[in-house]
Amino acid sequence: MFFTYLRRELRRRRRQASFIAVGIAVGIGLVVTVTAASGGVKDAQGKVLHALYGVGTDVTVTQSPKAGSGAPAGFGFRGRSGASGGTKIDADSLVNPSLGTLSSSSVTSISRLHHVSTAAGGLTLNDMKISGKIPKFSSSGGSGAPGGGGGGSFRGSIKSSSFTVSGVDLATGKVGPLSSGKLKSGATFTTSDAHSDVAVVDANYATQKKLAVGSTMTIAKTSFKVIGIVSVPQGSSPPDVYIPLARAQSLAGMSGKVNTIYVAAASAANISGVSREISGLLPKATVTTSSSLASEVTGSLSSASSLANNLGKWLAIAVLIAAFLLASLLTMSAVSRRVREFGTLKALGWRSRRIVGQVMGESIVVGIVGGLVGVALGFAGAAVVSQVAPSLTASVGQTTGSATPGGAQAAGGFGPPGGGGGPARTAASTTHSVAVHLTASVTLSAVVLAVVLAIAGGLIAGSFGGWRAARLRPAAALARVE
């Protein structure tokens, strides 16, 4: 009788029931879409972080450069006799791009901390090549001051190029920038390669420079053999070349030094504790976790995150509340129209709770139908978001203090004949920009949430209506003229 009565009653007022269901569906559809979009944004942020620091890295440790440590790199021909205009230059040097250094012993200390699963040191360097002839300077009168005065001109040809090199700790491959790479051809490093002149090259760089497995390339005037080609997640800005850390330290003259330490915690719950311990161990270092980095992400990804989490969330909540209120009002109104019917049932011996149960059952069914339609709308909304969302960019500033005094140095000019200096150490890029595509996908938990909300909506509406029905006095209800 319960289901028969319920079904017939909903059929009788199907227009009103549909209206209520649609209202609930819109609210729930919004909740599901916003949840999917938020999830997509979180995934995108995760991809950004993984692209920057590699899979498995929970904490990174860097150091602000010391004041004045940004002295220009020399290429060995300053003041060299004969280094005058017309002198040939062929320089190739591996330089540290304005990052502070940490000792390799810090890596060992960190790896011994409680709740640290793995710690690995890394060197991010620039290989700078300059070749050509020092230009001849001819002045047309005037002071002839080096580089100054007016009316001077340079004649000569200088070519320069650079690429990024990452020194990788081969003992712990689970963290660091190479950990997120996928091998496309050849092989990756083994621990026996620690002091070998072997390199793994980024796929895009290899394509650009026509490098393949077996090719040779020069790093800091040393010939390296390419043993593998690796691709990293789309949109990241990976190093061009990976070489063993020990070789990078040696070629850069930075033995026993690293400029980034990558740390994996034993579990996600330990990350903040590990971060605090490292800060205690290395008080002058900059310790960055995924969550602190996430808060520094700027760009359209950050805007999308704000949109989804703030506007989207509150809009969904507002619509849902409005839908529930409307459902409650309409249910109460429907109960008012059935006063005599419920009075008759009470006269026949139906208890209030049975009548309330009937009203709530009708509301819950409407809520569930609204919820199912809402989930379908949510799937559609998520698909639309994935289709129409533009590629999002995320920029993260390097937190090494490259803006501190003595840090970043602009490329210098060339000195006058007899005092040629090389270019100063170039400023490292202090911002990583990554492009990611937003994919909003509906998760099982979002569907469960939708169903729970739908049932809650039905219960709320049914409670209002049921309360009204329960309060009816049979005599007064039967006396009502309809």
Partner 1 sequence: MYTLANVKKDYQKGRDTVHALAGVDLVLEDRAWLAIQGPTGQGKSTLLQILGGLDRPTSGTVELAGQNLALMRESQVTQVRAASIGFIFQTFNLIPTLNAQENVEVALVPLGVGSAQRRARAAAALESVGLAERLHHLPSELSGGQQQRVAIARALVKEPKVLLADEPTGNLDEGTRDDIMKLLEKLWQDHGLTLVLVTHDSTVARRAQQIGIMRKGRLAIRS
The minimum distance between CB 331 and partner 1, in angstroms, equals 17
The pair of three-digit structure tokens given for residue 323, joined into one six-digit string: 């839908």
- Spatial neighbors of 250 by CB under 8 A, at least 6 apart, are none
Q: Is 346 or 425 the residue whose CB approaches partner 1 more closely?
A: 346
Return the residue of 148, 351, 419, 443 that touches partner 1, per CB under 8 A: 351
Q: CB under 8 A: which stretch of 1-9, 190-198, 285-293, 390-398 binds partner 1?
A: 1-9
Residue choice 18, 350, 372, 412 for contact with partner 1 (CB under 8 A): 350
Binding mask 47-86 for partner 1 (x = CB under 8 A): ----------------------------------------
Neighbours of 285 (CB within 10 A): 20
- End-to-end, the C-alpha distance of the chain in Å comes to 25
Q: What is the CA radius of gyration of the chain?
A: 34
201 CB-contact burial (10 Å; exposed 0-12 / middle 13-18 / buried 19+): buried
Sign, CA dihedral 455-458-459-460, equals: positive
Closest separation between CB of residue 350 and partner 1, Å? 6
Contact by Cβ (8 Å): 152, 136:
no
The answer to whether the CB of 197 falls within 8 A of the CB of 161 is no
Whichever of 191 and 336 has its CB closer to partner 1, that residue is 336
Tell me the residue type at 440: A
Q: Kindly tell me which of 171 and 479 has the beta carbon lying closer to partner 1.
A: 479
Sign of CA dihedral 246, 252, 258, 259: negative
Q: Where are the beta strands (DSSP E) in 322-449?
A: 392-397, 431-436
From the CB of 348, what's the least distance to partner 1, in Å?
5
**Beta strands 241-244 and 158-168, pairing class:** parallel
Stretch that binds partner 1, among 65-73, 81-89, 345-353, 418-426 (CB under 8 A): 345-353
5 binds partner 1 (CB under 8 A): yes
Over the window 289 to 328, marking each residue x when it contacts partner 1 by CB under 8 A and - when it does not, the resulting string is ----------------------------------------
Contact 123, 166 (CB under 8 A): yes
**Residue 448, CA atoms < 13 Å, CB-side half-sphere:** 3
Residue from 46, 146, 415, 474 binding partner 1 (CB under 8 A): 474
Min separation Cβ 327 and partner 1, Å: 21
The answer to whether residues 361 and 462 touch, using CB atoms and an 8 Å cutoff, is yes
Spatial separation of the C-alpha atoms in residues 457 and 186, rounded to whole Å: 59
Can you tell me which of 50, 257, 346, 425 binds partner 1, judged by CB under 8 A?
346
How far does CA 83 lie from the centroid of its chain?
49
Stretch that binds partner 1, among 90-98, 199-207, 223-231, 342-350 (CB under 8 A): 342-350
Please tell me the count of residues contacting partner 1 according to CB under 8 A: 23
The nearer residue to partner 1, 225 or 354, going by C-beta atoms, is 354
Structure tokens at 269: 């719950």
Nearer to partner 1, 251 or 360 (CB): 360
Of 66-74, 117-125, 212-220, 336-344, the window that binds partner 1 (rule: CB under 8 A) is 336-344
Q: Which stretch binds partner 1 (CB under 8 A): 46-54, 67-75, 174-182, 344-352?
A: 344-352
Question: Which member of 103, 237, 344, 463 binds partner 1 (CB under 8 A)?
Answer: 344
d(CA 172, CA 165): 18
For 108, the token pair is: 């060992």
- The 8-27 site mask, x for binding partner 1 (CB under 8 A), equals xx-xx---------------
Amino acid in the structure at residue 202: D
- Footprint of partner 1 (CB under 8 A): 1, 4-5, 8-9, 11-12, 340-341, 344-351, 354, 473-475, 478-479
